[in-house]
Chain A
Amino acid sequence: MVHIKRLQEGGTDIIAVIGEIDASSSIELDLAIAKSVGEGFKKILVDCHALEYISSAGLGVFMSYIEEFRDKNIKMVLFGLKDKVTNTFEILGLADLLNIRENKTEALKLANELSV
């Protein structure tokens, strides 16, 4: 089960992911990101403080946007990942592909830097 909240701050869309993302709930994450992209946000932060678990299908969602983000010049930064979640990202080699930061301030900073 996953619960997703979206919050807009300035020109940044913050997507908070609460709970666990598995094969079935990954669709909700996909929908949230697709909505954000559709609404034209160029900076997307993903708040993973309350993300307890992510399955390979959930990682697939992040992965599937990498190229689209590059083409549309959208910057996505993940922050507040739990160790276990970070581990999952690292094992699959996604840590190198995604922008991951400790907290929101740093994440926002990175997003701003990258956008310039």
Chain B
Amino acid sequence: MIKNKALTRLAFFGSVIAWVVLLFSDITILLSNLQGLQPDVPVWLPRVMLAAYIICLYYYYKFRIELDDSLNFTDLLWKVFATGLITTVVSLVFRLLVFLLGNTSLATNVVFSDFICQINLALLINFLIAALTSWKRLILYQKSKWLIRTWMVFDVMLLAMLLYDAAGIRFSETVTTTMNLVIGVLVLALSANMRWVAYLNFKQKWTSLLLLLLTFFYQAYFFYTVERSTEIIARATESLSRDSSAFLDYRTQLFILVLAAFIIIYGIFSFLVILFNLPTSSVFEQKLEEVVNFQRISQSIQTEQDEESVYNILLESSVSSVFADAAWLEITGANNERKMFTYRMTETESKNIREHLEKNNIKGVLDSGSEKTKNLSKHLASMKGSRFRSLLAFPIVVKEENIGTLALLKELPEGFNKEMTRIISTFANQAGISIENFRLMEEAFQNARYKEELKIAKTVQQSLLPTRLEQDKDFEIVAFSASADEVGGDYYDTLRISDHLVALIIADVSGKGTTAAFHMSQMKGIFHSLAQQHLEPKEFMARANQALVFCLERGSFISASYFVIDTNEKKISYCRAGHCPVLYLRAGTKESFYLKDKGAALGMIRSRDYCNFVETNEIKYGPGDTMLLYTDGITEAKNAKGEEFGNESLSQALNEVAGASAQEIEEHIIRRLYEFSGTKNINDDYTSMTIRFKG
């Protein structure tokens, strides 16, 4: 940015210096010529300085206008106009000066005329270069490869001409004519690029016309002024010298002539194109508004607006796009409720129209069965008491399902044409997409919330499991629990009843998710309150069932096994309530077996009859015996082929490590389980509790 500013200033100073040198060298040459002397400065200096001046100015305007992105079309024209205004005012000031001098000797002095002439010429060039840069931006507004190449050729030709002028060489007539012809074709080709005109609105077009007209005026004024003063000097010097380079005559400068021609031709073209575009500009503006409306509809979901605002935007946009007088929108919401939105009409009016159409048995989109756009205007003609005479109805489709109808109304008969139908169809489609996106987003939010809930449930579930298990000199207990992504309801716990009695529980709550975690916490409460009362296992289950009946919803249940280890009598009394049978390994015989006793899960039978479906059993334990409690996640773990781990594999795994410590047994079984399933991603909870007796 700073670099650009510095360059702009540099270019400006360069041009000023070049011009000052040009002015003085030119006056010196003229003076010398007038007095018949040999000039002190080389005759080519003014020409070269003119070229330097032009190039510096070109860069100055390049930085000022071409690289300034904030300018729009009228701004560009305004820049040209303003430059013209300033130069004209400056020129007029000198004119006034000349006028005030009247017929004094200074005013008629040829050198003074040359001075004025050079000033005017410099101003004219300044104006022309400003216009050139602006025109360049206008022409290159919508670039194509071809256009950029053409412009480059034109640029190069202009530069060539400038150098040609500076060198002061004269080619033959044919070369000049050919060159003029080529440049003429180029100018015409470039002048055909008028795309920017279409983007002007009505007001901007008028402004542009005015600005262009004033630009023509400046150009005409300058040419007149420069031409007149040049003529005076030429006449004065003609008699003195045959040398054409007695002073800098702009008429010999091909570059300036070509540039002026280009500026005028493009200016006239633009003027005419804008003029003839005036009557159709409303159509372009209309199209532009449609695009903006489209954007509004598609952006309405991103700005966290609700479905209703999408509907309202749809109504507004479609009404304004086809100049309808009123509209209504009937939508079936996400939860099947019908919603009605009206725009510039009352709900009663729309109801009357719908009833009228229904009465006349007209099948259209209004019955939401059709998927086609319908022009129902002719049916309105027979309706009395309605101000509307045209009706157009569109279906709104989301996920191939018709969710509603958009109806547009006009007070004029036959008010809708094909084009309008097409526009509104696209609007309706776009609205459908927006609504669909909106609903999808809503779903995504719901899912995210559900996931968050699951995360909480999982934390709750984990915190319900005991951090330390009851130990005894007679036995050691270890437990393992791994849960799948979904929250399960596996629960295990221990509780010391007295110095020789310890209660154990393992339970599996049916179902998953937050409810499972919730029931699990209830189970924990029940265990901690009932176990302390030193109940017989069957009684424990009966009471637990009684308590749970009021908490569990229909169809849910909890499978559980409850154990009381008596270290005095070396026995385990237990009750199985629908839970997986316990695997027991006798150290003496090295055989393992499942304790399959009858017992219904908690919550299955909701009456007091439940105690008939459970029973207390007892088993004596000896040193080295191992008892394995587990949940069905372990036996039902599947491998890639879909086979289950099963009871056989489980007892086999236990036999393999008979005699090892509880910790070793557990680790071995879990290893075997993961080996079998072949993946670390479990699809159910794995829970096990291993009790190994010592005494």
Q: Is B166 interfacial (CB-CB < 8 Å)? A: no
Q: Is B606 interfacial (CB-CB < 8 Å)? A: yes
Q: How far is the CB of A52 from chain B (nearest CB, A)?
A: 10
Distance between Cα atoms of A90 and B594 in the complex (Å)? 14
B residues less than 8 Å from A60 (CB atoms):
510-511, 555-557
A residues less than 8 Å from B606 (CB atoms):
67
Q: Is B599 interfacial (CB-CB < 8 Å)? A: yes
Q: In the complex the two chains form, is A93's CB within 8 Å of B555's CB?
A: no
Q: In the complex the two chains form, is A92's CB within 8 Å of B512's CB?
A: no
Bitwise interface map of B from 500 to 512 toward A, beta carbon under 8 Å scored 1, else 0: 0000000010111
Interface of B, helix, strand, loop or mixed by DSSP: loop
**Candidates B555, B559, B613; contact of A96 at CB < 8 Å:** B613
Best-surrounded residue of B577, B579, B596, B604 (most CB of chain A within 10 A): B604
Q: Is B131 interfacial (CB-CB < 8 Å)? A: no
B residues less than 8 Å from A64 (CB atoms):
554-555
Bitwise interface map of B from 602 to 614 toward A, beta carbon under 8 Å scored 1, else 0: 0011100000011
**Candidates B554, B556, B604; contact of A94 at CB < 8 Å:** B604
**Candidates A57, A94, A97; contact of B555 at CB < 8 Å:** A57
Distance between Cα atoms of A55 and B674 in the complex (Å)? 22
**Candidates B511, B556, B600; contact of A93 at CB < 8 Å:** B600
Q: Is B580 interfacial (CB-CB < 8 Å)? A: yes
Q: In the complex the two chains form, is B512's CB within 8 Å of A93's CB?
A: no
Distance between Cα atoms of A99 and B370 in the complex (Å)? 52
B residues less than 8 Å from A97 (CB atoms):
600, 604-605, 613
> Number of residues in A with C-beta < 8 Å to the partner?
18
Distance between Cα atoms of A31 and B510 in the complex (Å)? 19
Bitwise interface map of B from 539 to 583 toward A, beta carbon under 8 Å scored 1, else 0: 000000000000000111101000000000000000001111100
Contact of A92 with B578 at beta-carbon distance under 8 Å, contacts A56-B508, A64-B554 already known: yes
Q: Is A63 interfacial (CB-CB < 8 Å)? A: yes
**Candidates B559, B577, B599, B614; contact of A56 at CB < 8 Å:** B559
Q: In the complex the two chains form, is B577's CB within 8 Å of A93's CB?
A: yes
B residues less than 8 Å from A56 (CB atoms):
508, 510-511, 557, 559, 632
B residues less than 8 Å from A93 (CB atoms):
577-578, 598-601, 604, 613-614
Q: How far is the CB of A69 from chain B (nearest CB, A)?
A: 13
A residues less than 8 Å from B613 (CB atoms):
93, 96-97
Q: Is A116 interfacial (CB-CB < 8 Å)? A: no
Q: Is A114 interfacial (CB-CB < 8 Å)? A: no
Distance between Cα atoms of A59 and B606 in the complex (Å)? 15
Q: Is A61 interfacial (CB-CB < 8 Å)? A: yes
Q: How far is the CB of B30 from chain A (nearest CB, A)?
A: 102
**Candidates A23, A63, A67, A91; contact of B557 at CB < 8 Å:** A63
B residues less than 8 Å from A96 (CB atoms):
598, 600, 613
Distance between Cα atoms of A64 and B606 in the complex (Å)? 10
Query: Which B residues are within 8 Å of any A CB, using their own CB?
Result: 508, 510-512, 554-557, 559, 577-581, 596, 598-601, 604-606, 613-614, 632
5 A-B pairs closest in CB distance: A93-B600, A64-B555, A60-B555, A92-B578, A56-B510
- 13 CB < 8 A contacts A-B: A23-B511, A30-B555, A56-B557, A59-B557, A60-B510, A63-B604, A64-B555, A92-B557, A92-B604, A93-B577, A97-B600, A97-B604, A97-B605
4 additional A-B pairs beyond A30-B555, A93-B613, A97-B613, beta carbons within 8 Å, are: A66-B604, A91-B580, A93-B578, A96-B600
